[in-house]
């Protein structure tokens, strides 16, 4: 491995040779006492994989499924009890399947489809990301047959789906950045030099504040939305350092006990071409007046940008409110692609300190000569699961801090 500190590698699985994982990681506690890590693949031909991590030192694939064609990906998934929701996004607008599917995973070896919610349309690529933690509503970034963006890059508004009857999902609300849709009274936004679009990405809603959605809107920055009336989400506040920074707000995560928000900005180009992509720590004591306090310290760009693939921020362990998830408002786990997994102590939010890191060696068969750690999930026992974007599969780590 290239670097390890504050952690020990205790397990690794190449996922039967299909180790390219997207942003969907979730642990199910099964009724028979097992623990299944569900993983969404970054691209075709694989859809999702279930890995038995009851013994995290001996991960074992129990099921792996295929996508229906090579122009769709299932980059995101979430589990709630014995239900799993999976996002489907197509390569081009108008292709199918473009939407999301709900599965019964009570028997992990044989996931059973319960329903499919169609989001296809002439300007839609379907669903990039979804959030499903309460068993009642799916919050997601997805296109629609009746949504026409001014610019095709702005094709995925924030949408809310009522799935209290999972066999009959029903849309109950929708919001998009004003000016991005045909028919809006507002003018379209000014495009950034590296134009990655004004559309939804992560759409997090937590039980501590069920009336708030924390929505990342890529080049549009991040929003706090009032969803007390789900049919008409309303903007509470907005933080957007883009420009002068180069866009792609990926995640907005609240740290409720600290009155803080974490904003990550995804690197999307290889070799440091869109540097700097940073993670911001923002004071939210007044949620209508967001004040940046600091950025996470980053490894030296001179050392990492030329290693191959992407280097910069991506996602964080998002404190999903389930029994199999670690919860912390002080320790922040993040992924930096070829910069690996980093753990920061936010005890002083004006001076975050790196306390642990893991950068594996380049996995065999990868299209780039470096690891590309794409996502991270931490279980309630503080076991860290990190996934590689290309061929590295699933790494299992134990904290030593």
List per-residue pLDDT tens for the chain, 401 residues long: 799 999 999 999 999 999 999 999 999 999 999 999 999 999 999 999 999 999 999 999 999 999 999 999 999 999 999 999 999 999 999 999 999 999 999 999 999 999 999 999 999 999 999 999 999 999 999 999 999 999 999 999 999 999 999 999 999 999 999 999 999 999 999 999 999 999 999 999 999 999 999 999 999 999 999 999 999 999 999 999 999 999 999 999 999 999 999 999 999 999 999 999 999 999 999 999 999 999 999 999 999 999 999 999 999 999 999 999 999 999 999 999 999 999 999 999 999 999 999 999 999 999 999 999 999 999 999 999 999 999 999 999 999 99
Handedness of CA 29, 262, 342, 23 (dihedral sign): positive
What is 137-149 written as a DSSP string?
A: EEEEEE--TT--B
pTM attached to this predicted model = 0.97
Q: Which of 54, 46, 49, 56 is nearest to 9 (CA)?
A: 56
Q: Residue 108's pLDDT is what?
A: 98
Q: Residue 341's pLDDT is what?
A: 98
For residue 123, the tally of other CB atoms under 10 A from its CB is 18
Handedness of CA 289, 295, 301, 307 (dihedral sign): negative
In the DSSP assignment, the letter for residue 17 is G
Q: Residue 1's pLDDT is what?
A: 76
d(CA 325, CA 315): 16
Angle at 229 between CA 224 and CA 233, to 5 degrees: 40
Angle at 67 between CA 112 and CA 139, to 5 degrees: 65
Q: Residue 168's pLDDT is what?
A: 98
d(CA 166, CA 6): 42
For residue 164, the tally of other CB atoms under 10 A from its CB is 11
* H or E stretch covering 354: strand 353-359
Q: Which of 254, 265, 163, 262 is nearest to 209 (CA)?
A: 254
d(CA 354, CA 150): 42
Q: How far is CA 301 from the centre of its chain?
A: 24
Q: Which of 279, 286, 303 is nearest to 354 (CA)?
A: 279
């Amino acid at each position: 491995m290239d670097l390890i500190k504050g952690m020990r590698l205790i397990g690794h699985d190449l996922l039967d040779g299909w180790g390219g994982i997207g942003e969907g990681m979730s642990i199910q506690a099964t009724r028979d006492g097992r623990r299944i890590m569900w993983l969404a693949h970054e691209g075709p031909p694989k859809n999702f994989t279930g890995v038995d991590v009851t013994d995290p030192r001996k991960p074992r694939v129990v099921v792996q499924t295929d996508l229906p064609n090579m122009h769709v990906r299932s980059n995101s998934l979430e589990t709630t009890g014995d239900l799993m929701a999976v996002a489907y996004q197509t390569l081009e607008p108008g292709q199918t399947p473009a939407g999301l599917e709900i599965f019964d995973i009570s028997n992990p070896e044989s996931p059973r489809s319960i329903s499919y919610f169609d989001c296809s349309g002439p300007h839609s690529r379907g669903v990039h990301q979804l959030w499903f933690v309460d068993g009642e509503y799916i919050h997601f970034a997805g296109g629609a047959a009746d949504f026409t963006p001014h610019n095709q890059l702005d094709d995925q508004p924030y949408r809310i789906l009522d799935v209290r009857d999972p066999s009959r999902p029903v849309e109950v609300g929708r919001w998009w950045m004003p000016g991005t849709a045909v028919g809006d009274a507002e003018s379209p936004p000014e495009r950034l030099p590296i134009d990655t679009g004004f559309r939804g990405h992560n759409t997090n809603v937590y039980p501590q504040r069920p009336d708030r959605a924390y929505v990342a809107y890529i080049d549009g920055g991040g929003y706090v939305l009032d969803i007390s009336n789900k049919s008409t989400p309303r903007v509470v506040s907005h933080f957007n350092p883009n420009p002068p920074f180069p866009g792609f707000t990926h995640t907005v995560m609240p740290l409720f006990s600290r009155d803080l928000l974490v904003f990550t900005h995804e690197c999307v180009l290889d070799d440091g071409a869109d540097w700097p992509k940073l993670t911001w720590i923002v004071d939210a004591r007044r949620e209508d007046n967001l004040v940046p306090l600091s950025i996470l310290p980053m490894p030296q760009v001179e050392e990492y940008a030329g290693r191959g693939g992407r280097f910069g921020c991506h996602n964080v362990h998002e404190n999903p409110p389930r029994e199999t998830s670690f919860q912390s408002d002080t320790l922040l786990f993040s992924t930096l692609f070829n910069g690996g997994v980093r753990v920061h102590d936010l005890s002083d939010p004006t001076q975050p300190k790196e306390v642990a890191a893991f950068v594996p060696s380049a996995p065999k068969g990868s299209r780039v000569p470096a690891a590309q750690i794409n996502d991270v999930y931490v279980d309630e026992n503080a076991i860290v699961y990190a996934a590689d974007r290309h061929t590295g599969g699933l790494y299992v780590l134990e904290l030593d801090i």
